[in-house]
Chain A
Amino acid sequence: MATTAIAQPEPVGAVSHEARAGKYLSFQLGTEEFAIQVLKVREIMGIQHITAVPHMPSDVRGVINLRGRVVPVIDLRLKFGLEEMEYGQRTCIIVVQLQKDSTVQMGIIVDEVSEVLNLAAADIQNTPDFGSEAAPPYLLGMANVKGKVKILLDIDEILTGSEFGGIRELLHSTPSVN
């Protein structure tokens, strides 16, 4: 494992191994496991009434009332171009606090929340090669926990960036890391 990581060139703008270590909240989206830094998570709640806002892309489901604050909610499945799924008992809204603008909170809808992982720097490896391209900035890396691969996301980049073409390729390419 470690050798593969060293053999790969450091992606441009990638966070150093040390900074990537820490606690992650992992969640499920389709068949994949993703994780985001716990530091950025404000709270996790079950699915609730979402007020639709017109003229918005389909992944922007609308707004919710978070204790008096109006917070936008984004369906991560749709954001990543996955198939839409009906919300159920296990569907969760993870409210995250964006670091770029500390006053902005956003909710992301995921299939289900799994667990909090404590990842050491050695557990995290760089993302596999995207051919000639550098890894997109929203990917922090990958972690292998008990035989399952978790994709570590930089949620700031996901919610403020606009280009997610790479994510589907990544989903297809993940088995090769194992």
Chain B
Amino acid sequence: MAVHDHDNPARNAIAERIESLATELLVRGEEAAAEGWAETLRTIAREAATAGGVAVAAVASELAAAAEDTQGAAVSAGIARLQAALESWDTASRAQSAVAWETDAGGLVADPELLSDFIVEAREHLDSVEARLLEIERDPTDRDAIHSIFRSFHTVKGLAGFLELKGVRDVAHEVETVLDLVRESRLAMTAAVVDVVLASLDYLNTCVRALEASGPAAEFSDPAALLLRVRAAAAVSEPAAEAAPERPETDAEPAASAAVAGGKQAAKNGAARARAVKIDTDKLDYLVDMVGEMVIAQSLIQYDPDLHLERQPRLARNLSQLARITGEVQRTTMAMRMVPIAGVFQKMARLVRDLARKFGRQVEFESFGGDVELDRNIVEELADPLMHMIRNALDHGVEPPEERAAAGKNPSARVRLRAMHQAGQIVIEVSDDGRGLDRQKILAKARSQGLVTGNSELSDSEICNLIFQPGFSTAVQLSDVSGRGVGMDVVRKQITKLRGSIEIHSKPGAGTMFSLKLPLTLAIIDGLVVGVGEHRYVIPIFSVRELLRPSAEAVSTVENRAEMLLIRDRLVPIVRLYQKFAVEARATRPEDAVLVLAEFDGRSFCLMVDTVIGKQEIVIKSLGSMFQKVAGVAGGAILGDGHVALILDPPALFGKGSER
């Protein structure tokens, strides 16, 4: 390595140190090497940060922490990274030497590349800290987690120091000091300490967001008050009760799966970074679109009658091979958009913790199935509804500890998030073991709001479903998190928008469970292709319950207008699709037609069509702004023969075309 031909003494000193470490590694072998390196590495980190080698500083500080845990293998592997970082520093410094060395660090913040690197890296660390903190709160003796948090804050501090983000650096530094005490068992990881660390985390997250939004010009609030709080926490030197040498097998514990997934991710950071590629989401969406086209084009060829495949076995074989490959490409492309739901679950874990404090509840939060993957778009849209439900669970569902104890329950309530696959859909359950829905209160409220009129007898599930009505809210007191009357109806709207459904199961005194059913992806649905006259339409299969060929006696007409079908002692309204869309149909009597029983939001109706053509996977296409307001049409799909079929929107068809 020709390292001495630079005229930057600081850099040369660092290069020398790194090289001597590399030599030592060769001579003494991996196990022995790591001993006593922490100090040297930290010096390198410090020097590199002052001299402007942000990548070197980051790697070195990460290694320093690893060396302290005497992870020999990690350290020796890291030396190669350190050398690489040094080399890229050389390249970078050659390109912009004058700027990088001469100007103050304020100029470095202005470098968009450095800044975006900082944002990405800081965010990774801060996310992992949050997951780890929640683990610690469950098990304050988890040394692994404490070390990991310490390392993260240390790295953030280093990076921020380099970019002269003073507020960020100071906060990270103070937290690091507190965590150092915890690491050395001179301070117990009490809830108060966790609070302070979380508060600092929030501050840092705000800073990162501000930097992302407004670049180097971002302004931060003054962290002075926060710094005092952190220092105060550090000053309460109360030694940890026990050192707890053995740590529990967190990996085997399903209860922590969401949090652990986040933690593991952080641990694997180095490796993951090398194996992952960042892609513009627009490009990804375009790829998904084009692959959809490819699949359609492929099926157009495969089913082309002009090919006479029955007479050409070799062509048929090759085409079916092509079909397999395109199918595989499509699956892979779709998988690229899938992200684990763990990220959202982690946010909820934090929310539960904060709200429990606020409402004075004792709550244990559990999450299962954080590794279940969903389309990125769905995951993004899911955070808000989940947040609403968690808020409701803590505000309305979970009782105060005394009340729980009086009812003979564990004073500590259980709030659970669970995700799983079920019949090609994702099911997400939000459950609590609180007091359950108060039917009386709901009914009284609904009456007073005019949602229920007269003395109509409502079934239990109908009463529960009242909470989804717009403007419904039973909170006696308005709090800032729930009871604004925009709770559950917004949740349901959002879930319906994602082509999902929501159900409530609630037992008085035993708790409430919301069960969300969501599609795996928004781009492709299973559709039922039906025919009316010469037109074809697609009905999303998730809203289809059954297909019927009614007898004439089963159909009755109410007031000469509304037609109803009697199925299993239930009267279900019939909607004639050809009338709705003003087209010619072959079958104009229900007994000649096929009735598609569709269900949504707990209501059902029959859609009358001529024939059912088949079931098909459908790539959803937007019809564009021109057709946005067409009631009953959700989009377009290209069928196997290349023609466009309209995708129906059953709720809008039934809702007299006005609800959209």
Binding site for B on A (CB under 8 A): 49, 51-56, 60, 62-65, 67-72, 104, 106
B535 at the interface (CB under 8 A from A): yes
The 7 sampled A-B contact pairs (Cβ below 8 Å) are A52-B535, A53-B646, A55-B630, A67-B293, A72-B626, A72-B627, A106-B626
B624 touches A104 (CB 8 A): yes
A53 touches B633 (CB 8 A): yes
- The 7 closest A-B CB pairs, nearest first, are A54-B581, A68-B293, A70-B636, A51-B644, A70-B621, A72-B626, A63-B644
Bound-complex Cα distance A109 to B582 (A) = 23
Closest beta carbon of chain B to A138's beta carbon, Å: 17
Closest to A72 in B: B626
Closest to A104 in B: B624
Bound-complex Cα distance A64 to B642 (A) = 9
B643 at the interface (CB under 8 A from A): yes
Contact with A along B625-649 (1 / 0, CB 8 A): 1110011110010100011111000
What residues of B have a CB within 8 angstroms of the CB of A72 in the complex?
623-624, 626-627
Known interface pairs A51-B643, A63-B644, A104-B624. Does A70 touch B638 (Cβ–Cβ under 8 Å)? yes
Q: Which of B296, B581, B583, B623 contacts A68 (CB 8 A)?
A: B296
B434 at the interface (CB under 8 A from A): no
Bound-complex Cα distance A51 to B289 (A) = 21
Bound-complex Cα distance A69 to B296 (A) = 12
Closest to A64 in B: B644
Known interface pairs A51-B645, A69-B621. Does A56 touch B630 (Cβ–Cβ under 8 Å)? yes
A52 touches B583 (CB 8 A): yes
B622 at the interface (CB under 8 A from A): yes
Closest to A50 in B: B644
B168-196: which residues lie under 8 A (CB-CB) from chain A? none
What residues of A have a CB within 8 angstroms of the CB of B642 in the complex?
65
What residues of A have a CB within 8 angstroms of the CB of B633 in the complex?
53-54
Closest to A55 in B: B630
Known interface pairs A68-B638, A72-B626, A72-B627. Does A54 touch B644 (Cβ–Cβ under 8 Å)? no
Bound-complex Cα distance A85 to B421 (A) = 54
Bound-complex Cα distance A55 to B621 (A) = 19
Bound-complex Cα distance A52 to B535 (A) = 8
Closest beta carbon of chain A to B369's beta carbon, Å: 35
A49 touches B643 (CB 8 A): yes
Bound-complex Cα distance A106 to B623 (A) = 11
Q: Which of A52, A55, A60, A68 contacts B626 (CB 8 A)?
A: A60
B644 touches A70 (CB 8 A): yes
What residues of A have a CB within 8 angstroms of the CB of B627 in the complex?
53, 56, 63, 72
Bound-complex Cα distance A46 to B643 (A) = 15
Closest beta carbon of chain B to A96's beta carbon, Å: 14
B52 at the interface (CB under 8 A from A): no
Closest to A105 in B: B624
Q: Which of A55, A62, A104 contacts B631 (CB 8 A)?
A: A55
Known interface pairs A63-B636, A65-B638, A68-B292. Does A51 touch B646 (Cβ–Cβ under 8 Å)? yes
Number of B residues whose C-beta is below 8 Å from A?
A: 30
B580 at the interface (CB under 8 A from A): yes
A54 touches B582 (CB 8 A): yes
Q: Which of A55, A65, A67, A104 contacts B644 (CB 8 A)?
A: A65
Bound-complex Cα distance A54 to B297 (A) = 27
What residues of B have a CB within 8 angstroms of the CB of A69 in the complex?
621
Q: Which of A51, A56, A104 contacts B636 (CB 8 A)?
A: A51
Closest beta carbon of chain B to A99's beta carbon, Å: 15
Bound-complex Cα distance A149 to B40 (A) = 87
Closest beta carbon of chain B to A155's beta carbon, Å: 15
A65 touches B292 (CB 8 A): no
What residues of B have a CB within 8 angstroms of the CB of A71 in the complex?
624
Bound-complex Cα distance A68 to B535 (A) = 19
Contact with A along B258-301 (1 / 0, CB 8 A): 00000000000000000000000000000001101100110000
Contact with A along B533-557 (1 / 0, CB 8 A): 0010000000000000000000000
Contact with A along B555-587 (1 / 0, CB 8 A): 000000000000000000000000011110000
What residues of A have a CB within 8 angstroms of the CB of B292 in the complex?
68
What residues of B have a CB within 8 angstroms of the CB of A68 in the complex?
289-290, 292-293, 296-297, 621, 638
What residues of A have a CB within 8 angstroms of the CB of B622 in the complex?
70
Apart from the given pairs A54-B633, A67-B293, 20 other A-B contacts in the complex at a CB distance below 8 Å:
A51-B535, A53-B623, A53-B633, A53-B646, A54-B580, A54-B582, A54-B632, A55-B582, A55-B630, A56-B627, A63-B623, A64-B644, A65-B638, A65-B643, A65-B644, A68-B293, A68-B638, A70-B622, A70-B623, A72-B623
Bound-complex Cα distance A55 to B633 (A) = 10
Closest beta carbon of chain B to A33's beta carbon, Å: 27
Closest to B631 in A: A55
Bound-complex Cα distance A60 to B633 (A) = 15
Bound-complex Cα distance A71 to B296 (A) = 17
Closest beta carbon of chain A to B576's beta carbon, Å: 13
Bound-complex Cα distance A154 to B452 (A) = 55
Closest beta carbon of chain B to A75's beta carbon, Å: 14
**Of listed A49, A53, A65, A71, residue having the most chain B CB within 10 A:** A65
Bound-complex Cα distance A69 to B535 (A) = 19
What residues of B have a CB within 8 angstroms of the CB of A70 in the complex?
621-624, 636, 638, 644
Closest beta carbon of chain A to B187's beta carbon, Å: 58
Closest beta carbon of chain A to B578's beta carbon, Å: 10
Bound-complex Cα distance A35 to B643 (A) = 29
What residues of A have a CB within 8 angstroms of the CB of B646 in the complex?
51, 53
Closest beta carbon of chain B to A135's beta carbon, Å: 26
**Of listed A54, A55, A67, residue having the most chain B CB within 10 A:** A54
Closest beta carbon of chain B to A51's beta carbon, Å: 4
Bound-complex Cα distance A5 to B302 (A) = 59
Closest beta carbon of chain A to B305's beta carbon, Å: 16
What residues of B have a CB within 8 angstroms of the CB of A62 in the complex?
644
Bound-complex Cα distance A26 to B347 (A) = 60
What residues of A have a CB within 8 angstroms of the CB of B535 in the complex?
51-52
Bound-complex Cα distance A51 to B535 (A) = 8
Closest beta carbon of chain B to A58's beta carbon, Å: 11
Bound-complex Cα distance A56 to B630 (A) = 8
Closest beta carbon of chain B to A18's beta carbon, Å: 32
Closest beta carbon of chain B to A72's beta carbon, Å: 5
What residues of B have a CB within 8 angstroms of the CB of A51 in the complex?
535, 636, 643-646
